[in-house]
Amino acid sequence: MGKVQDKPILSLTNLKKIYGDYHAVNDVSIDIHGGEFITLLGPSGSGKTTVLNMIAGFEFPSDGHIIFQGQPIDLLLPEKRNIGMVFQNYALFPHMTIFDNIAFPLKMRRVNKAEIIRLVAEVLDLVELGDYADRKPDQLSGGQQQRVALARAIVFDPPLLLLDEPLGALDKKLREQMQIELKKLHTRLKKTMIFVTHDQEEALVLSDRIVVLNHGKIEQIGPPNELYDNPTNEFVAGFIGESNLLKGQVRSSESDLAVLKLDDGSEHKLELPGQVRSGDKVCCCLRPEKIILVDDNHTDFHLTGVLEDTIFVGETKRYTIRIGNKTLLNAREMNIRNKVGPKPGDRVKISWEPESIKLIQSTSI
Amino acid sequence: MLLVAPLIIILCIFYFYPLLKLFPESLYRDGHLSLENYNHFFRTPLYTFILFRTIRIAAETTILCFLLGYPTAYLMASVRNPRITALMMLCIMLPFFTSILARSYSWIALLQTKGFVNFVLINLGFIERPVRLLYNEYAVLVGMVHIMLPFMILPIYSVLRNIDTRLVKAARNLGANSREAFIRITFPLSLPGIGAGVMITFILALGFYITPALLGGPSTLMMSTLIDQQVNRLGDWEFAGAIVVVLLASTILIVSIFDKLVGLDKIYK
């Protein structure tokens, strides 16, 4: 976790936004601490942008509270909140020059002219756009417009910065470059940032903590590695990274070993984490890269299956392995040794470190 | 290019051809080539007075249309319920379904000495005897504003509608209250619509005939009614041609001044 201070800079408590009978945001509570980089991650319609809009003041919560720097701001007008925001597609003022765009928040705060010129020059330097002050936004490339939007949002030194899918419109390469710049900027400015995205990779790269949202509810909050290694439910396991899910019912359980009857009818003897009892319905999550294909003469293995397909991706090989009747597992192996691997149709034995398999909540149980 | 060909042909036949016929005609007086018609127009104080009155009334109509039309367009663009927008649009388009003649006559019915407006004013005790509301410049102005208003509202509405709502949100987020956001963002961005609305209204008002003819009566002649008089009452085609050319030249002059001041290229961008 980031630099945690005693009091959170921003607290959302039981936040709700209801349109008619549609719950866009349903009981969201998050404490965000000074200097943290928090990502709201979720598919479209998950309510992440609505949460951001309520923090910015463009929408008012139906219920719950927003406490910013110790003050409730639920009903405060957006212009009174002093929170920076970078919009999707940037929302630069097309009729103003880059200078005037960035000077806008300072003019609204009645900063004197000399100070405006100094501050704008300073922030333009920071985003490396010093020579572009007199241009209009449509004369700039997407990446440059992005940086102007960022400069405009930080020039008045707000304690909190909101970023609404700011990298969504950029192509992949530029996006990765901007991610690194954003991360650097965060380290340098030590500002609290709330970032909204539907791109799980982006969330993993940038965040101190990730809030996974789905249907207006929080599925899980935690640092990237925790969410990846210990997803608590099927949604998080599926949304962040790739995962194999083994769903079934425990038939019998003795010490460490349990017999799991999968939904396809096949039964397997497995070592399951935690306490399971006979009759429990369980869902196990196993990441593809944690699966190890072991040699045939090995005795230490967890499952056997039939190799259905191999895909060579260069740095990795991807295997599709069928266990039981029709349950397919994806496995990934780094292409380290130039050995000839198993061929489709071969029987394979697979293994994993005991802590790699996790019990999670299933949505369909 | 081919798609606009029919339009160009229609314009040539019905617009440019008569104009080309009228212009040479205006250069003749009693069968001789001369500038006498123009001389006569500019020498006669009444005619120049009518020209300036026409320009003044067109300008007043345009300003009134803007003052009434901009808030209406703004309201229409800010309503987020598509049904209400459609209803408002219908109300604005409805007058188009009735002829200008009918609408001008209905103003006569409203404004005449025994009309509805006088009736209401007398019964409310504002006036004791009926007031003459018709056949003066105010009646012309009321009628023209009523007819021109949609031409002002629609272009402004269409520009306002297309302004990214996030721009206003961004302005609010950056510290502007709703009034400042309007003055610094929405209004400047709606200028192309205002330009288009002002141009259309002003040009149409300059050459407007029916409403000034009916509501203005003989004491408030305008350029179009003057042309009608020359052609239909006096049969003086040559002088009428000269008036047409003067009106056209004035229109082009004013439009180009407007272009210099505002920049018409911004409207079409």
The reply to whether A91 touches chain B by the CB within 8 Å rule is yes
Higher pLDDT, B134 or A65: A65
Q: How large a percentage of chain A has pLDDT more than 90?
A: 56
- DSSP single-letter state for residue B100: H
The mean pLDDT of chain B is 89
Q: In the prediction, which pLDDT does A294 show?
A: 82
Q: In the prediction, which pLDDT does B264 show?
A: 63
Task: Kindly report the number of other CB atoms within 10 A of residue A58's CB atom.
Answer: 18
In this model, does residue B267 exceed pLDDT 70?
Answer: no
pLDDT tens-digit series, residues A190-226: 899 999 999 999 999 999 999 999 999 999 999 999 9
Which pLDDT band, with edges at 50, 70 and 90, does B163 fall under?
Answer: very high
A108 min Cα distance to partner chain B (Å)? 6
- Spell out the domain ranges in chain B: 44-268
In this model, does residue A82 exceed pLDDT 80?
Answer: yes
Of A77, A91, A108, the CB nearest to B164: A91
The mean pLDDT of chain A is 89
Quick check: A83 and B164 CB within 8 A? no
The reply to whether A87 touches chain B by the CB within 8 Å rule is yes
β A244-254/A257-262 pair status: antiparallel
Q: In the prediction, which pLDDT does A4 show?
A: 47
User: By the 8 A CB rule, do B246 and B54 touch?
Assistant: no
Phi/psi zone of residue B169: left (φ > 0), alpha (ψ -120 to 50 degrees), beta?
Answer: alpha
Residues of B in contact with A73 (CB under 8 A): none
Q: In the prediction, which pLDDT does B155 show?
A: 94
Q: In the prediction, which pLDDT does B1 show?
A: 64
Of B166, B176, B189, the CB nearest to A91: B166
Question: Which of the residue ranges A332-341, A344-353, B114-123 would you say has the lowest mean pLDDT?
Answer: A332-341
In this model, does residue A2 exceed pLDDT 60?
Answer: no
Quick check: A82 and B180 CB within 8 A? no
Closest CA to A132 of A93, A101, A155, A178: A101
pLDDT tens-digit series, residues B26-61: 888 888 888 889 999 999 999 999 999 999 999 999
In this model, does residue A3 exceed pLDDT 60?
Answer: no
Q: How large a percentage of chain A has pLDDT more than 70?
A: 97
Closest CA to A133 of A152, A114, A115: A152
B232 min Cα distance to partner chain A (Å)? 51
In this model, does residue A97 exceed pLDDT 60?
Answer: yes
* CB hemisphere CA count around A255 (13 angstroms): 0
Higher pLDDT, A328 or A161: A161
Residue of A nearest to B169 (CA): A58
The reply to whether A247 touches chain B by the CB within 8 Å rule is no
In this model, does residue A145 exceed pLDDT 90?
Answer: yes
Q: In the prediction, which pLDDT does B97 show?
A: 83
In this model, does residue B127 exceed pLDDT 70?
Answer: yes
Query: What is the rounded distance in angstroms from the CA atom of residue B246 to the CA atom of residue A300?
Result: 103
B184 min Cα distance to partner chain A (Å)? 10
Task: Kindly report the number of other CB atoms within 10 A of residue B247's CB atom.
Answer: 20
Residues of B in contact with A104 (CB under 8 A): 171, 174, 176, 184
Query: What is the rounded distance in angstroms from the CA atom of residue A54 to the CA atom of residue A64?
Result: 11
Quick check: A91 and B189 CB within 8 A? no
Q: In the prediction, which pLDDT does A139 show?
A: 94
User: By the 8 A CB rule, do A39 and A84 touch?
Assistant: no
User: By the 8 A CB rule, do A342 and A307 touch?
Assistant: yes
The reply to whether A79 touches chain B by the CB within 8 Å rule is yes
Q: In the prediction, which pLDDT does A262 show?
A: 86
- Would you say how long chain A is, in residues? 365
Residues of A in contact with B185 (CB under 8 A): 93
Residue of B nearest to A57 (CA): B173
Higher pLDDT, B79 or A6: B79
pLDDT tens-digit series, residues A288-333: 999 888 877 777 778 888 898 888 888 888 999 998 888 889 998 8
Residues of B in contact with A163 (CB under 8 A): none
Query: What is the rounded distance in angstroms from the CA atom of residue B169 to the CA atom of residue A58?
Result: 7
In this model, does residue A365 exceed pLDDT 60?
Answer: no
In this model, does residue A70 exceed pLDDT 50?
Answer: yes
Residue of A nearest to B191 (CA): A95
A351 min Cα distance to partner chain B (Å)? 52
Residues of A in contact with B184 (CB under 8 A): 104
* ipTM, interface predicted TM-score of the complex: 0.82
Residues of B in contact with A79 (CB under 8 A): 172-177
Query: What is the rounded distance in angstroms from the CA atom of residue B13 to the CA atom of residue B267?
Result: 28
The reply to whether A97 touches chain B by the CB within 8 Å rule is no
The radius of gyration of chain A from alpha carbons, rounded to an integer in Å, stands at 25
Higher pLDDT, A2 or B112: B112
Quick check: B174 and A56 CB within 8 A? no
Of B167, B177, B184, the CB nearest to A91: B167
B1 min Cα distance to partner chain A (Å)? 29
Which class is domain B44-268?
A: mainly alpha
Which pLDDT band, with edges at 50, 70 and 90, does A158 fall under?
Answer: very high
Q: In the prediction, which pLDDT does A259 show?
A: 85
β A316-323/A327-334 pair status: antiparallel
A144 min Cα distance to partner chain B (Å)? 18
Quick check: A87 and B180 CB within 8 A? no
Query: What is the rounded distance in angstroms from the CA atom of residue A349 to the CA atom of residue A360?
Result: 24
Please work out, in degrees rounded to the nearest 5, the angle formed at the alpha carbon of residue B23 by the alpha carbons of B22 and B24. Answer: 95
Which pLDDT band, with edges at 50, 70 and 90, does B143 fall under?
Answer: very high
Higher pLDDT, A85 or B103: A85
In this model, does residue A42 exceed pLDDT 90?
Answer: yes
In this model, does residue A334 exceed pLDDT 60?
Answer: yes
A82 min Cα distance to partner chain B (Å)? 7
Long-range contact pairs involving B32-40 (C-beta distance under 8 Å, separation at least 24): B37/B238, B37/B239, B37/B241, B37/B242, B38/B242, B38/B245, B38/B246, B40/B239, B40/B242
Quick check: A93 and B185 CB within 8 A? yes
- DSSP single-letter state for residue B214: I
A239 min Cα distance to partner chain B (Å)? 29
pLDDT tens-digit series, residues A163-193: 999 888 788 888 888 899 899 999 998 899 9
Quick check: B173 and A57 CB within 8 A? yes
Q: How far is CA B13 from CA B16, B19, B228, in A?
A: 6, 10, 22
Mean local confidence (pLDDT), A57-79: 94
Q: How large a percentage of chain B has pLDDT more than 90?
A: 48
Q: In the prediction, which pLDDT does A364 show?
A: 61
Residue of A nearest to B185 (CA): A93
Task: Kindly report the number of other CB atoms within 10 A of residue A23's CB atom.
Answer: 16
Residue of B nearest to A110 (CA): B175
Q: Tokens 């060909």: give the residue.
A: B5
What are the phi and psi torsion angles at B31 (to 5°)?
85, 0
What are the phi and psi torsion angles at B142 (to 5°)?
-60, -50
Which pLDDT band, with edges at 50, 70 and 90, does B182 fall under?
Answer: very high
Q: In the prediction, which pLDDT does A55 show?
A: 96
Query: What is the rounded distance in angstroms from the CA atom of residue B221 to the CA atom of residue A299?
Result: 110
